[in-house]
């Protein structure tokens, strides 16, 4: 079983996503955040379940796609680092240090 940790960038991404959606619907914003979080929870048991990020082609850098969002994570030792969350229509953000 792996430990899941969030980078500050990923936490900020999730908060910004919630705020953006909540301008129209607090209820829907909470539902989207819960959906994304539950999809990432499975990484504790199945860290390799996401696909390799096509733009980087690294086995340790993967993503879970929950349309219309992409959740990118890095597997490093016994830790799964949630790196960033972004809308799939946008280009992948520059991943610092990777």
The domain of 74 spans 3-87
From 23-27, 65-69, 91-95, the region with the lowest mean pLDDT: 91-95
CATH of the domain at 73: 3.30.2310.20
Assigned domain for 36 exists? yes
- How far is the C-alpha of 73 from the C-alpha of 62, rounded, in Å? 5
Q: What is the mean pLDDT of the chain?
A: 93
Q: What is the mean pLDDT of residues 78-85?
A: 95
Domain tally for the chain? Answer: 1
- How far is the C-alpha of 24 from the C-alpha of 90, rounded, in Å? 21
What digits encode the pLDDT tens for the residues 27-66?
Answer: 999 999 999 998 898 999 999 999 999 999 999 999 999 9
Assigned domain for 96 exists? no
Handedness of CA 36, 81, 84, 67 (dihedral sign): negative
Assigned domain for 79 exists? yes
Query: In angstroms, what CA-CA distances link 14 with 3, 4, 49, 56?
Result: 19, 15, 21, 22
Assigned domain for 94 exists? no
Instruction: Quote the pTM value.
Output: 0.91
- Is 96's pLDDT higher than 70? no
Backbone angles phi, psi at 14, to 5 degrees: -65, -40
């Amino acid at each position: 079983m792996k430990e899941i940790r969030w980078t500050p960038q990923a936490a900020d991404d999730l908060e910004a996503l919630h705020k953006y959606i909540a301008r129209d619907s607090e209820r829907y914003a909470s539902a989207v955040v819960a959906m994304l979080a539950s999809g990432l929870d499975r990484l504790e048991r199945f860290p390799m379940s996401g696909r390799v990020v096509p733009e980087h082609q690294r086995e340790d850098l993967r993503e879970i796609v929950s349309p219309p969002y992409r959740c990118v994570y890095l597997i490093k030792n016994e830790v799964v680092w949630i790196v960033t969350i972004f809308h799939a229509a946008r280009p992948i953000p520059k991943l610092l240090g990777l």
